[in-house]
A and B are shown apart, each in its own frame.
Chain A
């Protein structure tokens, strides 16, 4: 029998301060993708042909040390990159919006996509930034597992429980549509907020007692408006969220692992026997869904 499996190629962007590329690459590889590390400058200079891949992952990290605001420099460089007379941004839109490939940003990658206007793409307009990810309301960098709920059915979260914990680690994760001193008017900001809530919200932070979306600290780690934790564009192929599913590939990385394992032992399952699928966790399922989307 001849297996005709289509290999899925994922480009994992790294360099210039991006730091989560290795675990992200590992997650994609474990999920069945072929992977390639692409330095941010290779992407910006056109040293790689993005159309040879199906997934471009912009991982978490501190691109340019978060100077001028998280994601700002990367977005600026992305907007000014021209490859063979074509703007890189246009090529990326062709890649994801027209050809249905996936651009996926976690944390810092999400910040970059938002500041570059690639997310959320309200009414298909990607020309400018329509909302922002700004300083956490709590005023400090916050590291915490946060309960997420899936708002919009999406292939990345297919077959998963509707709510799950993922690690958040960021200082600028608060979604905001307008503010006292911003150039964006309140009216326009509110209009964007309405449209985003209608069509673009992928994930929200939730209260673990009510499973309702929340703006309240600490369950919402950054004070994000309407509890928004992740966004998609109209075609669902540009994905961004603050959480780090790449560190939840194995259940031994879940903060509940030790109590879960103790419980399993009372059921007669020894840790020594835990292997393979038993050790998989939610993050791997998310990565697998994204990879399998192309299979």
Chain B
């Protein structure tokens, strides 16, 4: 079956080597020593170990069929050794040579078959230095070896090893000193698959239901019986069979066809739930549903029957409202919507010459498993969405991230196999940093929301904005995609492996371990960087007629491209492969990263291949577009799949689902038993992870690259306070105008515990408010302007399929929640004329675990326990945890003149401070309630009204604030969100290194709010803090007109937030303390470095 690995020895070296490789062909270069004192400290802190000393040595394992003569000449310099800080050995232990102190060695290396960037590049550079030609059997691998001193138990060593190298991605070895000294070992992770590649055939027509379901579960097709039958019935059609016979196939379905069909029609690719027919039972007689019914957004069975959403959530609540804005803009003139929901990203016009596009993705499951690579493939994947938009002419100009995780300081029970939030957060930050930075795309926004439920399943959102001229210098349009029959299709980028192929468990070299599996793939950012330059250059020179990215289902995006011409023929054998033995269906479905699939007129073939060589990108011709009506896949001369392309993408039959709404969770605020001083409560609010400074995240991510960043994610020279929005001048427009693009994000999963409607509404409105605060404007429906809003909506929803959830109620509730979110989005779009033009749904943000009798619910910390569902499933105890409904709203907005924009930092002593917009008693899901903690029973304080936006009121306020900024009357402006007015004031003061005098009584005005807490911490959306120079008072107030505003204080020059309370007493809050509270929770030691 498979080749075995054998332990062999050579010159004191011991190798686990597959028997096909000869000993003499393997060389190992060890380079070091990297002192890892900081890492040791981190491990000790996190795992409670007592590592006294930690050093790392890197090993490069190079395999060449003729061995590598002369390698010893590379031990003193390039490419392996930086002689100033390193030294190296060849085929012997550097640690032993140096007498490095250690008790244990922890070795790690990527699992067999994972793209090994370091190993590959090392091999290429060694060959270059030695003047040896590359050859077929070349292989390069990279291994990290940690040498640690300390008294650790076996279990601790395992924990440390897993902390240093995630077992889901790495093969690991732990060796005590004596063993290492005796036998210095290196693993060689060569993939050994069965050499024969063979198509399996299934007589689906004659398979019983049981047999179909068995195939479904064995191949992890995730299909229902109805869907399986729909597939098998196709093979009854005699006309179809006749056509199949003509290409050498029969009545049996091939594995390539089965995998392609069900992969492409999966929830992930097909968005069945967002398009499902929904009946909704409203048990609460809810006014929002009623209103929606009256507006015609919902239908009803009979007069009092359940509501019906005939066309589904996406068509009704997202697409149709966007279409309504499109039509209004058509009438108005300068319609900036170019493409909504039909391409990889949504596209709008910047002006008549340029366009920009936006897309946000989520990469949740992979990031839970392997945070670094999961998040990296997330950001690199969404970047490829941009590279694959229209003809491929978009340059990615900005990256964004948003994380939802458990609190990194969480202590307590973890579900089995789940990584600690600290490990997740550090890992995903590293992944996004590497992906974005190495592609040299500035990170211009992001954030973190924590909740105990995200411990079970974290969410990782990655976003990208792209920019392109609308036409080439010669005037050839870049808009649209223009594939034609006869166009060649290519695959560009990485060779394919079985990465990302589900269920692939072929044995590999190291016994008991499997090839890098499932959705965990490693990313090769360097490969992607080259691919990016290459594809952009070809696209801008109009060499491509179409281009797709390889995300989910890999090269299958070609078949989507082929819908335009109605057919494609591809030879899977031609696809470059990482190793031999990959089955045909695996080539077709692999999600190996860093690939794009362009199509081009044959006349451009030579130029496309010539440039590929220059850019060192592998580009291979796979086949061509046809009008045959079929996806025709071959392997050499043998046909391996023949699928009707119309049927493959036919959305019918649509899923039918049932939802139940039992009412919003609005109740009075629970009793707060402790009283806090103003200073303490503000410090507590500022130290909530959702509010606390994200400086640590942004300090690692390039924000000024591309030279266009006007307002970055951190404010001022000190870069200590976050900005709620960012502004970028696209390089290509430099010198042509003073236009720019502003970016912001809104998300409020906690509000959805009260009512998902208001959660989504607040997310959308918060995002808009943040743009207005820096100088943006709502679309002007009276005057034709280039005032584009490119909005992307990402739904991360707990499982809403009640057939699948542990309890029927939770699934039905979750589905009703999505309907409510959708309604909110539709109503904001209709009210403010801001369309959502792109988006993504991730519908299974829930976790189910089987638990044995030893599991005790009481052991789960209370704030997680209240979300845990414990129930029986198939006769076994299970727990289920649903993430909160998360609607993330993100945007890229055209700014008319960036010179007039403002930031949130207080500017000059004596400037007047205003709050604009009405503060309402809406403490529900506020940071204040999370901050002041728990009642006597240890239960978190709940209750409070949901924060609600009054859309018409907000429209006036947003217009007034914009006008004031546009007339240059504003010194600073902040949008009030997490932490309410108090947090906004504190952040503005810290950003400007100023203080403030605030009169709470003036905040109160005539409002009926009684408590200072509500005035200071309520998170009513749609409000702003604005400061102005005193001389502009009259003009400013005139500009505000009739909107609700209050003058509440002045900017001061001391380091105090002085508050005059309602009872006229004065209280000074130390901003130094507030700053420490704001910085500390998420700085991971950053500020300790300052001596």
| A positions within 8 Å CB-CB of B | 14-17, 19-20, 22-23, 26-27, 30, 39, 41-42, 60-62, 64-69, 72-73, 75-77, 79-80, 115, 128-132, 134-135, 138-145, 165, 167, 169, 176-184, 189, 216-218, 244, 246-247, 249-250, 252-253, 255-259, 261-263, 265-266, 270-272, 274
A22-B731, A218-B1090, A271-B900 known; A67-B526 Cβ under 8 A = yes
Indicate if B87 sits at the interface (CB-CB under 8 A): yes
Besides A26-B734, A258-B901, 9 more A-B contacts (Cβ < 8 Å) are A15-B530, A64-B121, A68-B80, A177-B84, A182-B84, A184-B83, A257-B710, A259-B907, A266-B908
- 3 tightest A-B CB contacts, nearest first: A19-B440, A65-B526, A23-B707
23 chain-A/chain-B pairs, Cβ below 8 angstroms: A17-B526, A20-B440, A22-B731, A39-B614, A65-B121, A76-B129, A77-B128, A141-B433, A141-B437, A143-B719, A176-B85, A180-B33, A182-B82, A182-B84, A247-B709, A253-B704, A255-B712, A258-B905, A258-B907, A265-B968, A271-B899, A271-B900, A272-B897
Q: Chain A: interface secondary structure?
A: mixed
Chain B residues near A265 (CB, 8 Å)?
A: 968, 1029
Chain A residues near B615 (CB, 8 Å)?
A: 15, 39, 41
B682 to chain A, nearest CB (A): 25
Indicate if B918 sits at the interface (CB-CB under 8 A): no
Indicate if B679 sits at the interface (CB-CB under 8 A): no
- CB-based nearest A residue for B717: A255
B73 to chain A, nearest CB (A): 13
A72-B78, A181-B32, A272-B897 known; A67-B85 Cβ under 8 A = no
Chain A residues near B716 (CB, 8 Å)?
A: 255-256, 259
A54 to chain B, nearest CB (A): 23
B543 to chain A, nearest CB (A): 16
Q: Do the beta carbons of A247 and B707 come within 8 Å of each other?
A: yes
B593 to chain A, nearest CB (A): 14
Chain B residues near A262 (CB, 8 Å)?
A: 907-908, 971-972
What's the Cα separation between A129 and B84 when bound, in Å? 8
Q: Do the beta carbons of B898 and A252 come within 8 Å of each other?
A: yes
Choose among B32, B82, B440 the residue that contacts A61 (Cβ–Cβ < 8 A): B440
Choose among A16, A41, A76, A141 the residue that contacts B78 (Cβ–Cβ < 8 A): A76
Chain B residues near A244 (CB, 8 Å)?
A: 704-705
Q: Do the beta carbons of B706 and A23 come within 8 Å of each other?
A: yes
Indicate if B870 sits at the interface (CB-CB under 8 A): no
Interface residues of B in 17-60 (CB under 8 A from A): 32-35, 38
Indicate if B929 sits at the interface (CB-CB under 8 A): no
A75-B78, A144-B699 known; A62-B121 Cβ under 8 A = no
What's the Cα separation between A39 and B901 when bound, in Å? 37
Chain B residues near A76 (CB, 8 Å)?
A: 78-79, 125, 128-129
Q: Do the beta carbons of A182 and B86 come within 8 Å of each other?
A: yes
Which residue, A17, A68, A138, has most C-beta atoms of chain B within 10 A?
A: A68
A143-B703, A181-B98, A247-B704 known; A252-B710 Cβ under 8 A = yes
Q: Do the beta carbons of A16 and B129 come within 8 Å of each other?
A: no
What's the Cα separation between A269 and B737 when bound, in Å? 20
Q: Do the beta carbons of A169 and B129 come within 8 Å of each other?
A: no
Q: Do the beta carbons of A247 and B79 come within 8 Å of each other?
A: no
Interface code B701-723, partner A: CB below 8 Å = 1, 0 otherwise?
11111111111100111010000
- CB-based nearest A residue for B970: A262
A80-B128, A143-B702 known; A72-B439 Cβ under 8 A = no
Q: Do the beta carbons of B83 and A73 come within 8 Å of each other?
A: no
Chain A residues near B33 (CB, 8 Å)?
A: 180-181
A67-B121, A252-B729 known; A16-B86 Cβ under 8 A = no
Indicate if B208 sits at the interface (CB-CB under 8 A): no
- CB-based nearest A residue for B716: A255
Q: Do the beta carbons of B731 and A274 come within 8 Å of each other?
A: no
A19-B439, A61-B440, A184-B83 known; A41-B616 Cβ under 8 A = yes
Interface residues of B in 61-96 (CB under 8 A from A): 76-87
What's the Cα separation between A169 and B735 when bound, in Å? 26
Chain A residues near B703 (CB, 8 Å)?
A: 143
B215 to chain A, nearest CB (A): 41
Indicate if B511 sits at the interface (CB-CB under 8 A): no
Choose among A64, A134, A182, A274 the residue that contacts B899 (Cβ–Cβ < 8 A): A274
Chain A residues near B128 (CB, 8 Å)?
A: 76-77, 80
Q: Do the beta carbons of B705 and A79 come within 8 Å of each other?
A: no
What's the Cα separation between A259 and B413 when bound, in Å? 48
Q: Do the beta carbons of B902 and A258 come within 8 Å of each other?
A: yes
- CB-based nearest B residue for A256: B717
Choose among B84, B129, B437, B711 the residue that contacts A132 (Cβ–Cβ < 8 A): B84
Q: Do the beta carbons of A143 and B698 come within 8 Å of each other?
A: yes
What's the Cα separation between A182 and B992 when bound, in Å? 45
What's the Cα separation between A125 and B189 when bound, in Å? 43
Chain B residues near A143 (CB, 8 Å)?
A: 698-704, 719
A134-B84, A183-B83 known; A16-B899 Cβ under 8 A = no
What's the Cα separation between A146 and B219 when bound, in Å? 56
Indicate if B533 sits at the interface (CB-CB under 8 A): yes
What's the Cα separation between A10 and B899 when bound, in Å? 31
B126 to chain A, nearest CB (A): 9
What's the Cα separation between A184 and B33 when bound, in Å? 14
Q: Do the beta carbons of A182 and B83 come within 8 Å of each other?
A: yes
A76-B125, A217-B1089 known; A131-B705 Cβ under 8 A = no
What's the Cα separation between A17 and B907 when bound, in Å? 40
Indicate if B609 sits at the interface (CB-CB under 8 A): no
B458 to chain A, nearest CB (A): 21
What's the Cα separation between A183 and B87 when bound, in Å? 6
Indicate if B1091 sits at the interface (CB-CB under 8 A): yes
Chain A residues near B1086 (CB, 8 Å)?
A: 138, 140
Interface code B432-444, partner A: CB below 8 Å = 1, 0 otherwise?
0100011110000
Q: Do the beta carbons of A253 and B526 come within 8 Å of each other?
A: no
Choose among B81, B122, B440, B1029 the residue that contacts A183 (Cβ–Cβ < 8 A): B81
Q: Do the beta carbons of B437 and A62 come within 8 Å of each other?
A: yes
Which residue, A20, A177, A259, has most C-beta atoms of chain B within 10 A?
A: A259
Q: Do the beta carbons of A62 and B529 come within 8 Å of each other?
A: yes
Interface code B1000-1024, partner A: CB below 8 Å = 1, 0 otherwise?
0000000000000000000000000
A26-B731, A80-B129, A247-B709 known; A129-B908 Cβ under 8 A = no
A140-B700, A143-B700, A217-B1090 known; A179-B903 Cβ under 8 A = no
Chain A residues near B704 (CB, 8 Å)?
A: 143, 167, 169, 244, 247, 253
Chain A residues near B83 (CB, 8 Å)?
A: 128-129, 182-184
Chain B residues near A250 (CB, 8 Å)?
A: 729, 734
A19-B705, A247-B704, A247-B707 known; A272-B84 Cβ under 8 A = no
Chain A residues near B533 (CB, 8 Å)?
A: 14-15
- CB-based nearest A residue for B434: A65
What's the Cα separation between A135 and B39 when bound, in Å? 14
Indicate if B838 sits at the interface (CB-CB under 8 A): no
Indicate if B117 sits at the interface (CB-CB under 8 A): yes
Chain B residues near A26 (CB, 8 Å)?
A: 707, 731, 734
Chain A residues near B734 (CB, 8 Å)?
A: 26, 250
What's the Cα separation between A141 and B711 when bound, in Å? 21
Indicate if B316 sits at the interface (CB-CB under 8 A): no
What's the Cα separation between A13 and B58 when bound, in Å? 30
Chain B residues near A179 (CB, 8 Å)?
A: 84-85
Indicate if B525 sits at the interface (CB-CB under 8 A): yes
Chain B residues near A266 (CB, 8 Å)?
A: 908, 1029
Chain A residues near B513 (CB, 8 Å)?
A: none
- CB-based nearest A residue for B78: A76
What's the Cα separation between A35 and B677 when bound, in Å? 62
A14-B533, A129-B77 known; A169-B1089 Cβ under 8 A = no
B746 to chain A, nearest CB (A): 23
Q: Do the beta carbons of A169 and B80 come within 8 Å of each other?
A: no
Interface code B893-918, partner A: CB below 8 Å = 1, 0 otherwise?
00001111111010110000000000
What's the Cα separation between A41 and B616 when bound, in Å? 9
Interface code B488-519, partner A: CB below 8 Å = 1, 0 otherwise?
00000000000000000000000000000000
